[in-house]
Amino acid sequence: MAFMSGDFVYVAGNLATDPRVQRFPAADGMYDEVVWLTVAVNHTGAATEYVELEARGKTKEYIKNLIASPVKPLCKGSFVMAGGSPAKAKGNKRKLKLVVFSSETSLGYDVLNWDRLRGNGQADE
């Protein structure tokens, strides 16, 4: 699912790969670090779209903490919701500079279990 609000785009889908951390040399002799995530966004009646997410700053640190967690809440197949500003990408992928990111809902339930709600209208207790 993808939504657009002005120059800001929101996407929701499953991670197509594990998150990747890359380091690049910076002008000050140190390095710049980026976290990349690829989200598979399923569109009704259309092909799956792969959106490349680029995280820097506080969002990068938040994602790195999730990656380092022993329970691996953020890996290939994990459901994520993200938002950011569109950026240039290679090929036919869309790329977002990540600003907002979540791997769970505010209510804390597993978003991938939406199918169970269709059966009886209630979540499992």
SS3 label, residue 15: strand
Residue 113 DSSP code: G
- The per-residue pLDDT string of the chain (125 residues; one tens digit each, 9 = 90 and over) reads 555 556 788 888 899 999 999 998 888 888 889 999 999 988 888 888 888 888 988 888 888 988 888 888 888 998 888 888 887 767 666 777 877 777 665 555 444 444 444 454 444 44
Residues 17 and 11: their CA atoms lie apart, in Å, by 16
DSSP states along 41-109: E--TTS--EEEEEEE-HHHHHHHHHHHHSTT-SSSTT-EEEEEEEEE--STT-EEEEEEEEESS-TT--
